[in-house]
Structure 1
Amino acid sequence: MEHFDVVIVGSGPGGYMSAKLLLERGKSVALVEKSVFGGVCLNAGCIPKEGLYKLALEKSKPRWKVAVQMVQGKVIEIRDTSLKALLSKGLTYVEGDGELIDERVIKVGNRRLTASHIILACGSKQREPGISPEDVLRGWAIPKNNVCIVGGGAAGCELAFILSSFGFKVYLVREDTVLKGYRNIPEEFALKLEDALERCGVKLVENTKNVDADLVIRATGRIPNFCQERFPFVAVDERGFVRTDSFLETDTKGIFAVGDIVPPMGAGYAFEKARVAVRSILYDKERVFDPRKVPVIISSAYQIGFVGDVKDAKIFVTKPLGTNPKAYVTENDGIISVGFDDSGRLVYCCLIGREVGEILNLCATLLGKNLEEHLSFAHPSYGEIINEILSIKQEVCR
């Protein structure tokens, strides 16, 4: 048997980040992957989506097939570079399907890997059968003319905008409004996004009746890719998610779970779960996982981003981004909504606009803080709007 400090199953964002952090701290690590290094996020999700989204915003863009090939070429470069970097730090990379045959033993083919700790990062899979957004982003399914996307969540809205921008006729099937399942996104923002999608040529429909499409894409969500038969010592809940405590340790001591097998799903959450799990291993459960601290951004006809939890807010301030000089000359139709608790601490922020990442990340760093004094920002910059918000908060909280 081969022994390691930590064996990780799955090389997506949660598994990759866990391995990186542990190796940087001198731990011996084996990383098991049954498919392609990097998981869905790198190969067929966030990264290719972002590349195609940036191309979609350009006035002069390549044909769709060429664009996909260009982006996938970048994906391969990232994949190779990232894996080589881990290998150079001493990673043992094991290709194959992992199976937990004892509380500290992972079987991969004929190999037996023992460990002081195990991190499971098995990822997620498509909820319904059919062609997925990931199939399209990867180039496994090629649109022809008319496309029907079933599902008005983040993946559906993002892909609808991208494909429409590349000249395809897109139908987006959604119930009620888009992004309905995101409680942190105001309905006003969702309706604003719907209007922008329609202006981009996306046809919003409630069902597939009378929809003429040569390609139907199922963007109806994902479920945990966790086979309990292969990991019999790990308990799951009624939805198939692995049960963990707030430090991401499972019911079996020494076995942790990160990534999409623990809610909520998403690469940003996966990176944070990895940080928490690694610190739990290194420093005996020093830090809990709090999804409210993770900023989320959706890139479609508008970008919508949020951090914190609207349920924690008692006092709200909503302002047009155009009150910020830089935003006024670059995108005068964006909106920011922030929430404070009874103590005046920033606990929630949601933005919609053309480019909201700078302000969203700033709000994430200020989350939980009681903003009493005005802050210094570069001028001109989007971040200056925080002082505008602070002035209004002080008026409201008098």
Structure 2
Amino acid sequence: MNCFGCKRKSTKNSHKNKDDSHTHKSTNHTSLDKVKVDLKLNEKRDESKGDQLALDLNSLNLKEAISEDGNDNGIRAQAFSFDELAAATENFRSDCLLGEGGFGKVYKGQLKKINQVVAIKQLDPYGVQGIREFVVEVLTLSLADHPNLVKLIGFCAEGEQRLLVYEYMPLGSLENHLLDLPPGRKPLDWNTRMKIAAGAASGLEYLHDKMKIPVIYRDLKCSNILLGEGYHPKLSDFGLAKVGPIGDKTHVSTRIMGTYGYCAPDYAMTGQLTLKSDIYSLGVVLLELITGRKAIDPTKPRKEQNLVAWARPLFKDRKKFPQMVDPLLEGQYPARGLYQALAIAAMCVQEQPNMRPVIVDVVTALDYLTSQKYDPQIDRVQRCTSTSYPRVRRVGDHKHNVSDDRDKTDRFVH
């Protein structure tokens, strides 16, 4: 992941082929709370004690699930030996390499112990991410269970070795299918793009609303959305995740981390992290899905390099909405669906965080859009007979009830 103030390799090939701060019902301490204490203690420990992290991780009660219903799902990340993971990747052979990111290199492997194809991330000791991110990722994913979050199978904390073992996502990242497509690769169609957006939002809703303590993802971007069979999306790479504000707190003050172009301006300026910071990033990803443009693209003319800055003036003129669509779609998109999707994106990337919708409203709207499948034959008739289009609202009412399917998008469009 790209961190402010750091220069590093792009994560484009990572796993290739591969606030309203609402009050939460429970403030019970969990293993996520414990790891924050452990990390502070670890900072003071002698670095020569290479196995201390392994002891810390193995002592944590990772079986304590934190789903809202309080059920113990029996989730636990397995501890693997380095030799097991080396054997799975044939000693980390170059032809098993899937990609490389901020954490380190990602390899495809076959774990004989569980008879499963997996993706194995190996920490680069000289990379921008380190022990803290490793522990946070193990804890976050060990305590989470959702179809739109990548599954952490296990980890290795043996000596100086730090590795993470995930389910293998055969289609790689969204970035590989959306941006800078190689010749011959078919672009994603409209229905698939909306399906991916809705799935990513659903994963974010789980982190924000359905865990006993809210978790702020802080690194939502196309390269961190991995795709399984049928382009099923899953959020990955949780090294920057933070426990969100609880009770009457409005934000979490923290060092500014994230990827330029996806990071909310309020967080970038103040270091005050809120759930609405993730909403902004989701809006950027939705814009990328609609436009086929990168969040930041230095190859574009100066006024078009920042996707959000380029889009904001276009949001004000619905006649220009078709100009914002990815040319690779070749006009194959629903007119009304486009305006609704742009309206959702526009609300998510509002400069003021209190103007952005809460995640449950975004999920509702995107689920409705996903249910309205694009059919080129039907849409052609609608385009010929319809002369009026929905108007983007400047300020949405995110609290009113949903009375029918069409009203599900009225938080953003009317």
Query: Would you call these one fold, judging by a TM-score over 0.5?
Result: no
* TM, length-normalised to structure 2: 0.29
* TM, length-normalised to structure 1: 0.30
